Amino acid sequence: MQIVKRWRGLPLSRQLLISVNSVLSIFVGLFLIVNYQSRIRQQIEQKQVTLNEEAKTIYESVQALADPSQGQIQSLIDNICAWMNLEESPGHHVVVEVDNVIYQAKSHGRSSPEMLHAIRLQRGENLLSGSLVVGSFERLNTKVYVSERRSIIISEAQGELVFQIAAMLIAGLVAAWIVNRLLGRVVSRPIDQIVVALHQMEGREWQQISNVQSCKELSYLKEQINLMICSLNAAELDRHVQMEKARRIQEHLLPNYEPYKRLEVAHLYEPAEEVGGDYFDVLQLSQDCFLVCLADVTGHGVPAAMAATVMKALVLEAVQTSISPGEILTRINQRYSNMIIPGHFATMAVLVLDLPNGKMTYANAGHEPPLLCHRGGEVVRLMEGGIVLGVDENAIYTDTTVCLKPQSKIVIASDGVTETFDPEENQFGYHRLVDILKSSAIASASTVVDGVRNSLITFRRNRPPFDDTTLLVVAVREPQIKELKSGQSDQGKS
């Protein structure tokens, strides 16, 4: 990793020089290695051919002896081997077998059973393996073996390659110097001038490059960069204008709580970008019946904001035909699945507060479970629910009813609250939210929201949120709320 960081920190001109020189060095090295191996093989093959011919010549000499006695055969091969060791091949050795009688050259002192055994084993083996190269000739009752040490052949080949290697290295250095000079003139200098000109932009926002005196090509680049900066400035200005309009539109869609005298409502809404994909609402269905909902569309930014706007329209349409949370979610899911492109899912929790009868009915489409907070500090997590919106247009969502105790609060949060992270990648989590709610059991809805907001700011420690953050708190203002009859009970307590 340290090498990669250093490499990335080098100027482009130096990276080009190093890259080109490295490639040239690799190709030259590979060529020398392959050529060396090929040359060694060729030398050994040529030596074996020579040894085979020498073995045939010795055979003919043995056959030409007038009286091929043991002494004459031994004298013949000793003279041949002595002459070869002095003149051409210091590792030469000759073996002759006539009528199963073995004669080894003794003039060089290498005659031994082990030498004979090594020659016989090496005969016919891979030329590039073993310590000997063996040539042979066999006819009738006579066999001739001529061997040479493989190390001597390799030394001779290496000596012949020294000049070639030196020539290649010199040629490679010359080529590298020429390439470096060309790169410096054609690439490095123009790039350095462009970098110097671009450094003038540091500390300024989209400032055009000026006072750059250079060649025709760099002048053209300067003009193109300036045109690009003008286009970027115009596009950025237009984007800011459009996003500001979108932000105002989304703020205008937020619910107005003033008319609801029997409810106290407060919210925390912090989009990750200029606009967000969270939608929440509080609607009065009748005199003392209210609908509370919060939806979270996947992603954030403009696409999610558009989907959230669609969600509000679907909610307003659905409440015209039913006040059942399950039926509302079922209808919204059918319409949403047909309107939104695949993959843009959404979660949503819908709650209907029936204040005169002291009950609350809810349905959930994959959203964070809503929380029912009682005055005594008890926090109930409403766990019933179905799949997220947009997955299956035929999904059916059902109602679940719970009772409301006096001065209860309903809290709905998006996952941007519980899944926010601090700089050490620790998650805020559900338990921290519950602790705040328990400590604020008798506090107002706005106090609860302020407590959560402050806790999130402290927890993040200036780390920007990666998702939209939304919290909706609804407190019932009536001092007394009717209890449900037996058979209705709270759900999963935290």
363 lies in a domain? yes
What whole-number distance in Å separates Cα of residue 284 and Cα of residue 262? 11
What whole-number distance in Å separates Cα of residue 475 and Cα of residue 453? 18
Q: How many residues does the chain have?
A: 494
C-alpha atoms less than 13 angstroms from C-alpha of 18 in its C-beta half-sphere = 8
Q: Which one-letter DSSP state was computed for residue 493?
A: B
Please classify residue 152 by burial: count the beta carbons closer than 10 Å to its beta carbon, then call 0-12 exposed, 13-18 middle and 19+ buried: middle
Contact 129, 41 (CB under 8 A): no
Q: Which two tokens stand for residue 467?
A: 């998702």
pLDDT of residue 194 exceeding 80: no
Q: Is the dihedral of CA 436, 440, 446, 450 positive or negative?
A: negative
What whole-number distance in Å separates Cα of residue 49 and Cα of residue 57? 12
Q: Which two tokens stand for residue 393?
A: 């247009």
Look at residues 154, 181, 214 and tell me which one is the last residue of a structural domain: 154
Contact 135, 53 (CB under 8 A): yes
Per-residue pLDDT tens over the stretch 296-325: 998 778 888 888 888 999 999 999 999 999
137 lies in a domain? yes
230 lies in a domain? yes
Residues 416 and 467 in one domain: yes
What whole-number distance in Å separates Cα of residue 105 and Cα of residue 79? 8
Return the higher-pLDDT residue of 173 and 345.
Answer: 345
Taking the chain, what is the end-to-end CA distance rounded to the nearest angstrom? 46
488 lies in a domain? no
Cβ neighbours of residue 73 closer than 8 Å, sequence gap 6 or more: 62, 65, 96, 98, 103
Identify the domain containing residue 336 by its residue range. 255-476
40 lies in a domain? yes
What whole-number distance in Å separates Cα of residue 363 and Cα of residue 380? 15
366 lies in a domain? yes
Three state DSSP letters for 349-367: EEEEEECCCCEEEEEEECC
Q: Which two tokens stand for residue 103?
A: 């004669």
Per-residue pLDDT tens over the stretch 87-146: 556 667 888 888 888 888 876 667 777 777 777 777 666 656 667 888 788 887 888 888
Residue closest to 281 by CA, chosen among 34, 474, 50: 474
Look at residues 122, 154, 186 and tell me which one is the last residue of a structural domain: 154
- At 363 the pLDDT is 96
Determine the 3-state secondary structure of 310 from DSSP.
Answer: helix
What whole-number distance in Å separates Cα of residue 358 and Cα of residue 374? 13
pLDDT tier, 479 (very low <50, low <70, confident <90, very high otherwise): very low
Percent of the chain's residues with pLDDT above 70 = 81
Residues 210 and 150 in one domain: no
Cβ neighbours of residue 451 closer than 8 Å, sequence gap 6 or more: 436, 439, 440, 443
Please state whether beta strands 93-98 and 263-270 pair in parallel, antiparallel, or not at all (unpaired): unpaired
Residue closest to 91 by CA, chosen among 133, 49, 120, 121: 133
Residues 266 and 237 in one domain: no
Residues 225 and 370 in one domain: no
Cα–Cα distances (Å) from 154 to 127, 251, 406, in that order, read 12, 86, 101
Residues 354 and 228 in one domain: no
What whole-number distance in Å separates Cα of residue 397 and Cα of residue 391? 13
Per-residue pLDDT tens over the stretch 274-293: 888 899 999 999 888 999 99
pLDDT of residue 328 exceeding 60: yes
- Cα 369 to chain centroid distance, Å, stands at 34
Q: 3-state DSSP: the chain helix, strand, coil percent, rounded to 5?
A: 50, 20, 30
CATH code assigned at 277? 3.60.40.10
Q: Determine the average pLDDT of the residues in 365-383.
A: 92
Total tally of structural domains belonging to the chain:
3
What whole-number distance in Å separates Cα of residue 470 and Cα of residue 277? 10
Residues 423 and 283 in one domain: yes
What whole-number distance in Å separates Cα of residue 276 and Cα of residue 468? 6
Cβ neighbours of residue 9 closer than 8 Å, sequence gap 6 or more: none
Number of H helices, E strands in the chain: 12, 14
What whole-number distance in Å separates Cα of residue 408 and Cα of residue 376? 9
Residue the block writes with tokens 């020429």: 178
Look at residues 210, 237, 252 and tell me which one is the last residue of a structural domain: 252
Cβ neighbours of residue 378 closer than 8 Å, sequence gap 6 or more: 493
Phi (first) and psi of residue 298, to 5 degrees: -60, 140
Q: Which one-letter DSSP state was computed for residue 187?
A: I
Residue closest to 440 by CA, chosen among 455, 425, 429: 455
pLDDT of residue 34 exceeding 60: yes
325 lies in a domain? yes
Residues 238 and 315 in one domain: no
487 lies in a domain? no
Residues 326 and 367 in one domain: yes
Angle at 388 between CA 282 and CA 474, to 5 degrees: 20
pLDDT tier, 406 (very low <50, low <70, confident <90, very high otherwise): confident
Q: Determine the average pLDDT of the residues in 474-494.
A: 53
Determine the 3-state secondary structure of 267 from DSSP.
Answer: strand
Residues 337 and 433 in one domain: yes
What whole-number distance in Å separates Cα of residue 386 and Cα of residue 39? 76
Q: Determine the average pLDDT of the residues in 1-8.
A: 76
Residues 288 and 373 in one domain: yes
Q: Which two tokens stand for residue 449?
A: 């929201």
Contact 278, 468 (CB under 8 A): yes
Residues 334 and 349 in one domain: yes
Residues 387 and 458 in one domain: yes
Cα–Cα distances (Å) from 271 to 192, 302, 471, in that order, read 42, 11, 12
pLDDT tier, 11 (very low <50, low <70, confident <90, very high otherwise): low
